[in-house]
Chains A and B, each alone.
Chain A
Amino acid sequence: MHNTADATDRPSLEAVIRVEGLAKEYRVYDKPEGLGASLRGLFHRKSRAVEALRGVDLTVNRGEFVALLGPNGAGKTTFLKLLSGIITPSRGTARVLGHVPWERADDFRRRFALVMGQRNQLWWDLPAAESFRLHKEIYRLDAARFERVRDELVDLLGVRKLILQPVRELSLGERMKLELVAALLHEPEVLFLDEPTIGLDVVAQHTIHEFLRHVQAERRTTVMLTTHYMKDVAALCERVVVITHGDILYDGSLAEIVDRFTTHKIVTLDLDEPPAPGALERFGFPCEIRGPQVVMRIDRSRIADVLPEILRGAGVRDVSVEDVPLEEIVAGLFRSGRTRPAEPAEATA
């Protein structure tokens, strides 16, 4: 594990989430193909153990905004479900706000919220205002506090007009904004977000980024976010945890992930005329040439020397230097994690 930022780096901060050796194993049944095999499966089923999470250690301090990244099936959502007490672990310990999540104490459940981008928690046929009213009762919010927080949240997201419209008539983006309002009405100290921007257009994504940033800064909410969108991560999270095959592969700052896992920078040149064949190879690898526009990968250690030379040599009208896109870095990390062997234990039932 390329661990760089754990609790030992932040001794003075208050740990809100503390996880040690947390593991979750599922037993799944293989569904055989064909009628004959299905009939045999009635009496003799083959099962295997799948380790969704393999002994994870993690500490998250109050007010942190942590991105949980990983490919599909890496164990991110399982991790959030364990931390929110929806499922119980196979082994290991976890404390969130001082509580063991899967004991499901009311005092704990009053202090966090979970938003799942692919699941609707609002009443489908009714306006969101009705679901908000239910939240008020469930979380025992006094009327004045409830109205103040609701008004603040709906105004921040610009959805005041939508709360009286049946949820089923709203767009995906509008629904997600109202889901966030519902989740935050009781002002949770910890917020678990599972792909909250999935399927949303860029405007809705941006609005939600602004909103989450504001809420987190104002209330010092601890947020754990799973997402496949690097824009979410770049906009919101200072800390990134990468999970693959149920293991934490990287835990550190977003800036560090770029430093650590990239060897080159992307340089885009706008030249006076298309370059002669082979003219740029000595500086780096030209990965895309479209007439006078060239995109190159140049070794980070050489960039300070190479750039002045490029600018001196050819007729360069414009130049930009960027880091490798975050998506590419993270995809590389996912691929490196994929080499870990999965050894399911087989059993029959």
Chain B
Amino acid sequence: MGRYLSIFGTFARACLVRDMTFRANFLLECVTSLGWMSMNLAFYLLVFQFTPEIGKGTGWSREPFFAFVATGLIINSIVQALFMPSAEELTEMVRTGGLDAVLVRPLDAQFLLSMHRVDFSSFANGLVGCGLLAWALTRMDYAPPPIAWLLYPLLVVCGVAILYSFVIMLAAATILMGRNQSLYDFWFYLTNFSRYPAEIYSGPWGGPLRALCTFVIPILLVVNVPARVIAQPLVGDAWWPVVGAVAAAAAALVISRIVFQRALARYRSASS
């Protein structure tokens, strides 16, 4: 474990050195990312000009909802910073045979392929997310109990683990298919579902969609569960999603690992 941390540290250091080499590009990425996030926040502020709550009786009034948004920002920034750059590069590595160099290293290939690039500019959103969370929590009528503070980081990690598992399965698909850009687009559309409270998925269409995105592809657990734990009281059956998120994260990690290993066994490499 220590060795893997040390290697990850070397990767992170190298990426930081590279980012600093291309400072203008790094700053532009930060600005672009923060600009996109600011527009989203402005949009939600506009929405709350017309309604005090998203869904009647859901508990997602303005401040709790911004705690939800902040949680989404934190989780997505971790995934975008640590895993997505490597996953996006994988298509090119499979197509050109660059993956060969990874497979001859005495290290876990999944680790090497999913964590060899770190995009530090994506952490900017996470930092703003932390600030937004602090702002929302200080303005809420509800003060989260100590158990919520303990569960929150754990559930954020579970959310990251679920998204990471999706990334790994897409990587496996890339290895099998050789090229897989459309699936990455699909991943982006799918993760869009995680950006909103689960309660909005109701009615004849929303209900089945919610069930699908909770029990089959547990994307709705990613942000909803930690956000609910920190922003709303843990009463009644509120514990079940917590258990579900932990179980879903564990299952997703195991399944994605199996799928990835099988894909690697079928890797064809590219002609030289």
Complex partner residue of A85 from B11, B17, B104, CB under 8 angstroms: B104
In-complex Cβ contact of B105 among A77, A109, A116, A130 (8 A): A109
Asked whether any CB of chain B lies closer than 8 Å to the CB of A13, the reply is no
A106-146 near B? 1/0 per residue, CB < 8 Å: 11111011101011010101100010011001111000000
Cβ-defined contact, A134 with B7, below 8 A: yes
In this assembly, does A104 line the interface, its C-beta being within 8 Å of a C-beta of chain B? yes
Count contacts on B: residues with CB < 8 A to the other chain: 28
Contact: B101 with A81, CB < 8 Å?
Answer: no
- The residue on A at minimum CB distance from B99 is A86
- Collect the chain A residues with CB atoms within 8 Å of residue B269's CB: 81, 86-87
Contact B267 A137 (CB under 8 A): no
The CA of A123 and the CA of B268, in the complex, are separated in Å by: 24
Distance between Cα atoms of A299 and B180 in the complex (Å): 60
Q: B107–A138 contact, CB under 8 A? A: yes
CB-defined contacts of B107 to chain A, threshold 8 Å? 106, 138
Chain A residues in 8 Å Cβ range of B190: none
Given contacts A130-B17, A195-B272, A113 and B6 within 8 Å (CB-CB): no
Chain B hits for A121, CB < 8 A: 101
Are B265 and A130 in contact (CB-based, < 8 A)? Answer: no
A131 to chain B, nearest CB (A): 8
Please tell me if the beta carbons of B101 and A119 are within 8 angstroms of each other in the complex: yes
Bound-complex Cα distance A125 to B23 (A): 13
Interface membership of B14, Cβ < 8 A: yes
If the complex has contacts A81-B100, A86-B104, A109-B106, are A134 and B10 also in contact, measured as CB distance less than 8 A?
yes
Residue in A closest to B19 when the chains form the complex, CB atoms: A125
Convert B152-187 into 0s and 1s, putting 1 for each residue whose CB lies closer than 8 angstroms to a CB of A. Answer: 000000000000000000000000000000000000
Residue B98 at the A interface, CB < 8 A? Answer: yes
Q: Which residues of A contact B10 (CB under 8 A)?
A: 133-134, 137
Apart from the given pairs A104-B103, A139-B106, 7 other A-B contacts in the complex at a CB distance below 8 Å: A84-B104, A112-B104, A119-B272, A123-B18, A134-B7, A137-B6, A138-B107
Top 3 closest pairs, chain A to chain B, by CB:
A109-B106, A106-B106, A110-B106
Give A contacts to B, CB under 8 Å.
Answer: 26, 77, 81, 84-88, 102, 104, 106-110, 112-114, 116, 118-119, 121, 123, 125-126, 130, 133-134, 137-140, 166, 194-195
Contact surface of B with A, Cβ cutoff 8 Å:
3, 6-7, 10-11, 14, 17-18, 21-22, 96-98, 100-101, 103-107, 109, 265-269, 271-272
